[in-house]
Chains A and B, each alone.
Chain A
Amino acid sequence: MRKMLAGLAVALLVFAAGDAFAAYPEKNIQGYIMWGAGGGTDGFARAATPIAETNLGATVILQNKTGAAGAIATTLVLSQPADGYNLLYAAENPATYRILGLSDYSFNDLEPIIIPIEGTVVICVAPETPYKTIQDLVEASKGDSKIKMGSSGIGGLPYVASAMMKSIHGSGFNFIQFDGDGPGATALMGGHIDVMPLALSTSSEYVRGGRLRALAVLRTERVPQLPDVPAITEIYPEYSKFLPWGPFYGVFVKKGTPADVVNALTDAFLKASNDERFDTFAKNSGGIKINLTGDAAKEYLAKFESTASWLVYNSGGAKKSPAEFKIPEPK
């Protein structure tokens, strides 16, 4: 009897110890994608996650939580405990939430797990529009033009790209709001809008298929996916002061998540990002692998925040000055 009791005690002890040291993850993880299905963020999330899942040994349940330039998904993740069970699949948007008055949150409230891919913005027009070159578009858009530009909200990628055009050429557009890149590209193909700066990941196949015309890539050199499309600096060298700038996709958790959890996630996603299948995805979808983690990722985010915030502020789209949040001006 005593033997049995002792055995039971040992069993209980082992059980209790096992519980205390229970390794993360011990239950399903929620993944919130801040943009809609079919867009760049969505594609990245759905390509990386299944590989990361096997590395983590847990299921990540992905869902699109769209709206308000991703502020809904960001707020949702930040309203959950900092335990690593709620991942945010984000694009660059949180960098401008504060100055836009969308939310009091920014990347400072998030802990980067990984920023694997940097994208490129391509200025695309509908094939039936008269704009054959970027110069055509620039000339036509000067002043307060009525050219319909698809937007994903103030502070979104198309908005910031148009802010560059406004700052350099004095371009003005009539913005029409969509739920993200995917729906915007659909409307552009249908000719319901005239122009939309789109992520390369969303647009490269449509350009290749002749459904959209690409006028320029917002980079200092051409991209291999669209070798015939000029880099914007070939025509307008003034853009180089804003570049490199581009969309990026990353996985984030709430700040304050325990370091071992962050490390476990970073490991899993870094391995996923280096997986051959993810490479194919990145290449097909027009991403450039940067694989930033930890401090390097934080530095990258701070730099991006500075460029984007001041561009939006100077183009008149911001509700608050970046200076209020001590965001330094870009040099």
Chain B
Amino acid sequence: MMNNLQYFLIPFLDWHIMGLLWGGVLAGIWVGAIPGLSGTMAVSLLISFTFSWELNNALAVMCGVFVGAVYGGAITAILLNIPGAPAAIATGMDGYPLAKKGLAGKAIGLCTTVSFFASMVGVVTLAVAAPIIANFALKFSPRDFFLLAAMGILLIGSIGGGDPVKGIMAGVVGILISMVGMDPSTGELRYTFGNLNLMAGISFVTAMIGLFGVSEALTQFRDSRAKSPKQDLTKIMPDWTTFKKYLPLALRSSAIGVFIGALPGTGGDVAALLAYDQAKRTIRHPETPFGQGALEGIVAPETANKGAIGGAFIPMLTLGIPGDAITAIMIGALFIHGLRPGPMLMIETPHLFWMIVSMLTISSVALFVLGLLSVRPFSKIIEIPKSIIMPVVIILSVIGTYAIQNSVTDVFYMIGFGALGYFMRLYGYPTGPMVLGIILGPLLDSNYRRAMQGAENEIAQFIAGFFTSPISLFLTLAIAFMLFSQTKTYRKLRGID
């Protein structure tokens, strides 16, 4: 125990590590905020960059960038309605209406405060309960991932807004887009029309940049003469009463985040969407309705994606299994620094575990301080005339898309999605469900196939599985409840009209 405390304190006393952590967070915030540049991209570049460094220093800068980038995604989502990272997709839905009312400062201030809180929930959970949660996460079968993806698909109703039929149509097209390429199970070609470029599939980040970034920029051009709202920056930090009011939601959403983050293969993006939906279903009387600037709509996704950071480290450090895309890259970093990530890592190198816990703690503090300090300069962005800021967004979208895999094809896809998104918005089709479909399609597809193969391709056995395994049963009931809660009978029962 004394030893662990000692390991935990090392980064606090080492100015070098401290500097790298703070620098990493600051860089991460910018990487996250710029549409197209993502934390995953930054961390994978850092692997080569930090190869000759000492392991602790390399890990410090990676942890810092990870935490900063998840937070940075929210900034552009709130200010410009363009999520800078996949984990911030849900944040713009209420964040941007707030910014339009001149409350961007309040929104970012609250976002920063609850982010710090959630990030700490994730770190503390990692420190005290990692082995228990990791073992539980292992119990998630392909059938359970299938149910989780199905639950995600039901979100189309929550993030569509307006006409549900149009939302569903967009979502289905999104799922179809995700199927382009080689079948993950048999290798058969789907929707490729003999085109080589289509064989590799369409990356959801490319689609996201087009559908959210470029199409939003084009839409805002239509009323580019509209005056930008004057931002009220007198009160950024939420007071104690406000914080207390959102605390239960923040705690609930952080818990969702930690757990979804700990599941191998799902990360902050899925966590944030599920948490947003959960908030929308459980909070019946927000001060402002969801979609029009509810603060709950910022708290839920932003705490979930921060909680998912600590969560993603849980299976990585206890079992050597990545919890999300970034921890997968960090496992590679451990390998090339001569360590052996696996179940023995925590037993043979306990200092590594405590160092990472400590680095994440410092990164969270850095996020809080740097986040609050940058609210004022960031809020100025929204006051820049549209005719200046939107071309910049388009240029950054092109650069960011190209940078993902140095592919010009991706840039064309992105522009195509931008145009598609523009016309979708024009005719009242929401773009969110389409991106959701592209993210969840592969999760749904491959896990359905695995679950079916596991049930020997017998439909009766497949369906029986939903009720015999406790986790599946819980998820099935949750989905049943989500469906039931939309019916008139339920609304009558609860006395909601």
Contact = CB atoms under 8 A, between A and B. Distances in A.
Report whether chain A binds chain B.
Answer: yes
Interface of A: 28, 30, 37-38, 42-43, 46-47, 49-51, 53-54, 59-63, 65, 67-69, 71-72, 75-76, 79, 100, 102, 146, 148, 153-154, 174-179, 182-183, 186-187, 189-193, 204-206, 208-211, 277, 280-281, 284-285
Interface of B: 44-45, 47-48, 51-52, 138-142, 181-185, 187, 196, 199-201, 264-265, 319-322, 325, 328-329, 331-333, 335-336, 338-345, 347, 405-406, 446, 449-450, 453-454, 456
Contacts of B139: 190-191
Contacts of A50: 47-48, 51, 336
A50 B332 CA distance: 11
Nearest to B450: A176
A198 to B, nearest CB: 13
A317 to B, nearest CB: 12
Contacts of A175: 453
19 contacts: A37-B332, A38-B321, A46-B47, A46-B332, A46-B335, A47-B335, A53-B51, A59-B48, A61-B406, A67-B187, A154-B187, A175-B453, A182-B322, A186-B138, A190-B141, A192-B142, A205-B343, A208-B343, A284-B338
Contacts of A42: 332
Nearest to A50: B51
Ranked nearest first, the 10 interchain pairs of A and B with the lowest CB-CB distance are: A205-B342, A209-B343, A37-B328, A68-B187, A50-B51, A46-B332, A190-B138, A68-B182, A176-B453, A47-B336
B321 A182 contact: yes
Contacts of A179: 184, 446
Given A38-B328, A38-B331, A67-B201, A177 B319 contact: no
Contacts of B184: 67-68, 177, 179
A210 B335 contact: no
A67 B338 contact: no
A179 B335 CA distance: 20
Contacts of B201: 67, 72
A100 B320 CA distance: 33
B192 to A, nearest CB: 11
Contacts of A63: 44, 405
Given A146-B456, A174-B453, A28 B328 contact: no
Contact of A208 (B265, B322, B344, B406): B344
Select the residue from A42, A76, A192 with max chain B CB neighbours within 10 A: A192
A6 to B, nearest CB: 41
B437 to A, nearest CB: 19
A182 B338 CA distance: 19
